[in-house]
Each structure stands twice: as C-alpha cells, then as structure tokens.
Amino acid sequence: MSEALSSTAHDVPTGRKSGNGIGVAALVVGIAACVAALFPMTAFVDAINVLPLNGPVTWPTMFFGGIIGVVLGVIGVRRAHVGKASNLTTAKVGIALSLIALIICAGWVALNLTSAPS
C-alpha cells in the first residue's frame, strides 16, 4: 500500500508549461517606463512639485526602461511560441507598454528640441 502511494504521490505532469518570468519582467518594466513618461507633464502643473525627479530619474527610466522592456518582451514571446512559457499575452502587453513609453520619450525630446531657445 505504501509503495503505491509513494510512487504516485511524486508524479509530476510532464506536459505542463512553466510561467513566463521574462514576460512578467517586461510587463513590470513597461509599466514603470510608462509611469516615468508621465512625470514631465508635472512641470506644467504648479500644485505638483516633482521637478527634481524630471531630469535624472525619469529620462533614463523612460528610455532604458523602454528598450529593456521591449527586449525582455521579445524574449518572452519567443519562449511562449517555442512552448517554454505559458503567458504570451503578458509578454505582448509588456512590449506594447515599453513601445508606448519610447514613443512618449521621443515626443518629449522633440518637444524640448523645438521649444529650446536658439
């Protein structure tokens, strides 16, 4: 009796896919980059004073976070297509949010370049 219990108690399904930690990382980095992309808008509101964060924190977070999020998302999508990961949608949303952050970053750069005094 104990032999039958011990042999079946430790059986693990072999066809189960593992989670996509890289896709989740892409999602988290994409969310952080999108939130950082909204911080420069606080310069237009007098009631919110987070201007010290606008330069050294938000720009690198937007730019590098966007790039890292896209790279991690692409790796997560590839892992999901191969069958090594189970959550393809998470990786795709991470890519989308990272691309949105990069587009917003490019928009802020263009706005700053066109409004700079000559």
Q: Give me the mean pLDDT over the 60-88 stretch.
A: 91
pLDDT at 53 (0 to 100): 58
74 vs 69: CA distance, rounded Å: 9
Is pLDDT of 101 > 70? yes
Whole-model pTM: value is: 0.74
Give percent above pLDDT 90 in the chain.
39
CA dist 23 and 70 (Å) reads: 10
Is 60 exceeded by the pLDDT of residue 38? yes
Average pLDDT, the chain: 79
- Please choose, from the candidates 98, 107, 85, the residue with its C-alpha nearest in 3D space to the C-alpha of residue 35: 98
Distance between CA 81 and CA 73 in Å, rounded?
Answer: 12
Q: Does residue 25 register a pLDDT over 60? A: yes
Q: Give residue 26's pLDDT.
A: 95
What pLDDT was estimated at residue 32? 92
Residue 19, pLDDT above cutoff 60? yes
